[in-house]
Structure 1
Amino acid sequence: MRYAGIVVAGRPARRPSGVDERAPAVGGKPLLARAIHALDGAERVIAVGPRRPGFDVVWTREPVPGTGPVAALAAGLAFVPEDVEAVAVLAADQPGVRRSTVDRLVAAVGGADGAVLVDAAGARQWLLGVWRVAALRAALPEDLANAALRRTLGALDIVDVPAEPGETDTPEDLDRPS
């Protein structure tokens, strides 16, 4: 299945220390770079957020910056090529995401509207999924600002894909003592 990728890299997410969590490196690679690298199989990668130097992607912003992931998703969809049928949607701050994560999600979609990673507790990780472009466009609410991603995507036909160890880790998980 041919797919594009959207990385939701909106407002700089801050750790308690005040540092932009997309800037620090994990395993020698910035978090944003890890998300972009996970999309190596994509026809095009769109990053939604403030432009950051050094990344060969299409950059865009939501019409009103900071109005949430649904608005960011809509902004990214505007740059998805017409000839791809799916889009991988990733948060920029997921250090455990990798190309194999995206490959498993793409393979899982089948005839469904999308496939989403599910963590060990059974929670769907809405910003770690692959979705059919037509289903995403149809699901977008008229008012995008501050719309809930779970509510927007939750009614779609979704395949749950169990996360492998570490795939759904957050920067906060990595900051916790072992």
Structure 2
Amino acid sequence: MPFAVIVLAGGRASRLGGSDKASIELDGRTLLEHALDALTDADEVVVVGDPVPTTRPVTFVRESPRYGGPVAALLTGRDALLRTPTTLGLLAVDMPRVSAWTFRRLRDAAVGHDGAFLTDGDGRRQLAGVVALDRLDGVRPDHEAQHGMALRVLLADLDLALVPSDGDEGRDVDSWADLRGLREAP
């Protein structure tokens, strides 16, 4: 079953003073490299954000207009795919504890559903998940409506399995305090 992943790496990072999240280092590696490590099973990876050096070939694109939010970024990445996968993954670049095992669990949980998403310790859906491409295409809004749309709105009519995070995999880096917390975690 062909599998591609869109990495969301083009946000404003306002709580990080506008720093490029993809280039922030944790454990001696950038957040983007952590994300790419989680995608070893992906046949294709598109990163929606500014190009930065990577150890794996990926396609870089930007949504237009910039900073359109996760839906605009996801759909821009979807349109940049060279091949048409059966399953499309989504991963925010700021989730460095997501792993290949996380995505295997998500893909297993999606069987019989339209997709599956990771939840954090409080049960909130995170920007790490998989969705059947035909189902995503079926709820796709026009270009004007994508800008600023919340992902939960886009996916509201889909049957999504929720997968509880294991350990720190549901944690993201929205602030310098979040980054310190991940650095200090055992």
Provide the TM-score with structure 1 as the length reference: 0.90
1:21-54 deviation digits (Å, cap 9, x = unpaired): 3222222221011111211111100011111123
Q: What percentage of residue pairs aligned between the two structures are identical?
A: 37
CA–CA distance in structure 2, aligned partners of residues 74 and 129 of structure 1: 14
The one-letter amino acid of 1:141's match is: P
The aligned residue for residue 175 of structure 1 is 180
CA–CA distance in structure 1, aligned partners of residues 154 and 18 of structure 2: 30
8 A contact 1:4–1:81 mirrored in 2: no
CA RMSD of aligned residues (A): 1.9
**Bigger mean CA offset, 101-110 vs 74-83:** 74-83
In structure 2, do the counterparts of structure 1 residues 157 and 118 end up closer, same or farther at CA, with 3 Å as the change threshold?
A: same
CA–CA distance in structure 2, aligned partners of residues 6 and 69 of structure 1: 10
> Does 1:147 find its partner at 2:152?
no
Provide the TM-score with structure 2 as the length reference: 0.87
In structure 2, do the counterparts of structure 1 residues 23 and 113 end up closer, same or farther at CA, with 3 Å as the change threshold?
A: same
Gaps of 5+ in 1: none
1:109-138 deviation digits (Å, cap 9, x = unpaired): 10211100011111111x100110111111
The one-letter amino acid of 1:133's match is: L
8 A contact 2:12–2:18 mirrored in 1: no
The structure with the largest helix share of the pair is: 2
| Equivalences, count | 177
The one-letter amino acid of 1:22's match is: A
CA–CA distance in structure 2, aligned partners of residues 17 and 76 of structure 1: 25
Gaps of 5+ in 2: none
In structure 2, do the counterparts of structure 1 residues 12 and 22 end up closer, same or farther at CA, with 3 Å as the change threshold?
A: farther
Give the match's secondary structure for 1:64. coil
- Structure 1 residue 17: Cα displacement: 5.3
1:49-97 deviation digits (Å, cap 9, x = unpaired): 1111235201111121111110111111113355420011000111111
8 A contact 1:14–1:21 mirrored in 2: no
- 1:33-48 alignment runs, 5 A limit: 33-48=33-48
In structure 2, do the counterparts of structure 1 residues 20 and 84 end up closer, same or farther at CA, with 3 Å as the change threshold?
A: closer
Give the match's secondary structure for 1:129. strand
8 A contact 1:44–1:57 mirrored in 2: yes
The aligned residue for residue 129 of structure 1 is 129
